[in-house]
Structure 1
Amino acid sequence: MARPSNRRPGYSRRAQYGLFFGYVAAVSGAVVALLLLILSTVDPNGFGALRGAVSDATLPVTSAGRWVVEGVMDTGGSVGSYINATGKVRTLEAQQKASATKLIEARALAFENMRLKRLLGISEQGLRPVAAGRLVGSTGSSIRRYAILNAGYLNGVRGGMPVRGPGGLIGRIASAGAASARVALITDGGTVVPVRRVPDGTPAIATGTGDGFIDIRALGAENATFKRGDVFVTSGAGGVYPPNVPVAIIAKATRETFLALPVADPARLDFAIVEPVYQPQVEEQRRALPPPPGQ
């Protein structure tokens, strides 16, 4: 036969003991509370001594609990300090990156100013430039080497005019459109420039090879030899290119060939100026004229 599910506590001896001890505890607590109340009324001093004894007895437990609370608070403070320190470190790192970026921008601006000053110095020392523009593109197909300049015949640019940068000669205008022009670089296979070696003035011809180099060949001197590091500038012979413009530096020298690299690498340039075609007779006449009044 199954046991009923709604058994009363009286059926369990354990439950009876539990109720009994519960009643005893409740009655004992009430009696103790009543005695303490009576003691505090009749003998306040005795009640104070008893309360002090109870405090002394519970001191270790209270101290332990306080230590736990302080430990938790210290841990929370440490965690907060760590979070704050991490935030400050991240802020300092961000400030450092921002400072590094500004430093790079300042250096880039200084380099740009220096380069523009060099370009301005060229225009002041040489012929008055026809136009200044930016090299916006280049081609490297076959042996033809061209660059695109964002200045055209509306700016006065015409075919055949020399183009130079801050470092030296870049090339020559091959064709000009309304707002752009195609520049045949000095490394182009069809570009020939009369040059001379610095400082002895040995004449030579610089011809583009189409692969980034310039072939230097002595002119009118069979026994003339060049060595690595020799610098060549335009000679001005035949016109077109004004004299004393840096052109190339010998990079590879053999018994038969002398290969040079351009002083002004078009791949590293962005700005260039276009100058009028150099005419030796006109230039000599201009220099022979007396300076204008006030100069």
Structure 2
Amino acid sequence: MAPPRNRRPGFSRRAQYGLFIGYVGAIGGALIGGVLLLLSTFNPPAFAAVRGVFAEITTPIASGFDWIRRGLGSIPDGIGSYFAVHGENAELRKQIADDKLTVTRAQTLEQENRRLRAMVKLRDVTTDAIVAARLVNSSSSSTRRYATLNAGSWQGVKRGQPVRDPSGLIGQVIETSPNSARVLLLADPESIVPVRRVRDGLPAIASGRGDGQIDIRSASVATMGFQAGDTFVTSGTGGVFPPDIPVARVIRTQGDIAIAQPAVNPDALDFALVQQTFLPEPVPAPSPSASATPAAQPKAAP
């Protein structure tokens, strides 16, 4: 049999305590409300003070709940903003990388244009220029140092002609073909160039070491000391290299020999200028014709 619905809660202490607390709360709330009502009617200043106290108590709690509400409400926007910012950062990084590549290309072009302008200026002021050609390659990892020009005999390039750029001497042509030429660089052990010291005109000989540097030896009988920083240019001796072309700068000394750095690094060049030799080649003397017959001798009188 089901228990009646109007059964009293006396059988449970928990239910009794709950009802008691509910009644006490209701009666207390009614009393507090009545007191506040009377206070607001008969003594508004006191009611304002009480209201201020309650406001001081409830404001931090309300602020905390409002902060929590705003934080929970901003979570979706924060997630969306994170992904949006992440995508924008990726695009900006890609744009920065593209801009760096563009700047690098522009700097390379600017350097090449500057070298070309210097080369054009040198060609214009040099009366013995043959051709300005591109340096196709150079051997920097071998003890033999050569470079290749994309100009040859069809462009007027001949064996023995000096090769230079506005900064200094590069080497000398040793082989030619119709559209290319092989250049012996200054750093090659077979390269020998007569030079002179700029500050006092001391004659010397510059020879390659095979490691990218040059040995400088005095050409005079007296032993002359070298100093770091001494600059050497071509002297014109020998009739191959025109005078006053920068050749090398001393970086250290070893006894009577100076170790010098070439004025030009062929690996960093794009173009070079081929010049005539300083002194023209001697014109061979005409050989007497083998078919020529001696003049007839007059007969002697009887």
Q: Which residue of 2 aligns with 1:154?
A: 154
Q: Which residue of 1 aligns with 2:100?
A: 100
CA separation in 2, counterparts of 1:265 and 1:71? 65
Question: Alpha carbons of 1:139 and 1:103: their partners in 2 closer, same or farther (altered >3 Å)?
Answer: closer
Q: How large is the RMSD of aligned CA atoms in angstroms?
A: 2.7
CA separation in 2, counterparts of 1:70 and 1:144? 77
User: Is residue 122–residue 166 contact of structure 1 (8 Å, CA) maintained in 2?
Assistant: yes
User: Is residue 127–residue 276 contact of structure 1 (8 Å, CA) maintained in 2?
Assistant: no
Q: Which residue of 2 aligns with 1:77?
A: 77
CA separation in 1, counterparts of 2:100 and 2:89? 16
**What TM-score comes out, normalization by structure 2 length?**
0.65
User: Is residue 250–residue 259 contact of structure 1 (8 Å, CA) maintained in 2?
Assistant: yes
Q: Which residue of 2 aligns with 1:166?
A: 166
Q: Which amino acid aligns with 1:261?
A: Q
- What are the ranges of 5 or more consecutive residues in structure 1 without an aligned counterpart? 1-16, 18-67, 283-295
| Residue 224 of structure 1 pairs with residue 229 of structure 2 | no
Q: Which residue of 2 aligns with 1:39?
A: none
User: Is residue 166–residue 264 contact of structure 1 (8 Å, CA) maintained in 2?
Assistant: no
User: Is residue 236–residue 280 contact of structure 1 (8 Å, CA) maintained in 2?
Assistant: no
User: Is residue 162–residue 240 contact of structure 1 (8 Å, CA) maintained in 2?
Assistant: yes
Equivalent pairs counted in the alignment come to 218
**What TM-score comes out, normalization by structure 1 length?**
0.66
State the shift of 1:251 in Å: 1.9
Q: Which residue of 2 aligns with 1:274?
A: 274
Q: Which amino acid aligns with 1:209?
A: R
CA separation in 2, counterparts of 1:145 and 1:163? 14
Q: Which residue of 2 aligns with 1:176?
A: 176
Q: Which residue of 2 aligns with 1:197?
A: 197
1:174-228 deviation line (CA, Å, top 9, x unaligned): 0101111110111122221111111221111112222322221112241321111
State the secondary structure of the residue aligned to 2:158: coil
CA separation in 2, counterparts of 1:271 and 1:281? 26
State the shift of 1:75 in Å: 2.8
CA separation in 2, counterparts of 1:205 and 1:184? 16
Q: Which amino acid aligns with 2:276?
A: P
User: Is residue 234–residue 247 contact of structure 2 (8 Å, CA) maintained in 1?
Assistant: yes
The alignment-based identity, stated in percent, is: 42
CA separation in 1, counterparts of 2:93 and 2:146? 45
User: Is residue 225–residue 256 contact of structure 2 (8 Å, CA) maintained in 1?
Assistant: no
Question: Alpha carbons of 1:225 and 1:69: their partners in 2 closer, same or farther (altered >3 Å)?
Answer: closer
State the shift of 1:140 in Å: 5.9
